[in-house]
Amino acid sequence: MDPVILILGTVTVILIGLLAAGMVKDVLSRERARISGRDSSALPRCPVCRTPLAPGERVSSRVFSRGKQANHLGIVESMAHILGCPHCYPAPREVRRRCPVCGKDLLVTDVLVARMFENTRTGRKHVRILGCSRCRD
């Protein structure tokens, strides 16, 4: 075989491999969306690193109840510390942890402070982020 053709073929294979490695994250995100039947822009995102969460992935948090007394609408309000998703907590893997309020980069020991509202009638939860442990001081 001609050495030039062999070299061009090898370079082509290497370039295709590098291009595929760079697009793995996008392909996985689209595959998660296809499996779940949702558009990737409609996937819920981690409030700490903004990574789309696949079905079954949960955000780790600690809830501090003020009491289980619901208001007249059936809403229970609590305070919570949001730690992160499997992509950014306990060890961040190539993702940037940022506070959505002040925009500062978060350390592994930093948490987001939030108010959590739980509807006792439907069982749904809503979180309002107040800031990180540094900007809330």
Q: What is the DSSP string of 49-112?
A: T-PBPPTT---EEEEEES-S---TTSEEEEEEEEEE-TTTSSS--S---B-TTT-PBPPTT--E
What is the signed CA dihedral for 97, 102, 104, 108, rounded to 10 degrees? -50
Distance, CA of 48 to CA of 97 (rounded, Å): 5
pLDDT at position 19, please?
64
Distance, CA of 55 to CA of 36 (rounded, Å): 7
| Positive or negative: CA dihedral 46, 55, 89, 126 | positive
pLDDT at position 71, please?
80
pLDDT at position 81, please?
93
Most distant CA pair in the chain, distance? 82
Distance, CA of 121 to CA of 34 (rounded, Å): 31
pLDDT at position 128, please?
93
pLDDT at position 114, please?
93
pTM of the full structure: 0.64
CA 36 and chain centroid, separation: 16
pLDDT at position 102, please?
92
pLDDT at position 31, please?
66
- Mean pLDDT of each 10-residue bin along the chain, 137 residues long: 78 72 62 59 84 89 78 85 89 84 89 90 89 86
Domain-by-domain residue ranges, the chain?
Answer: 60-132
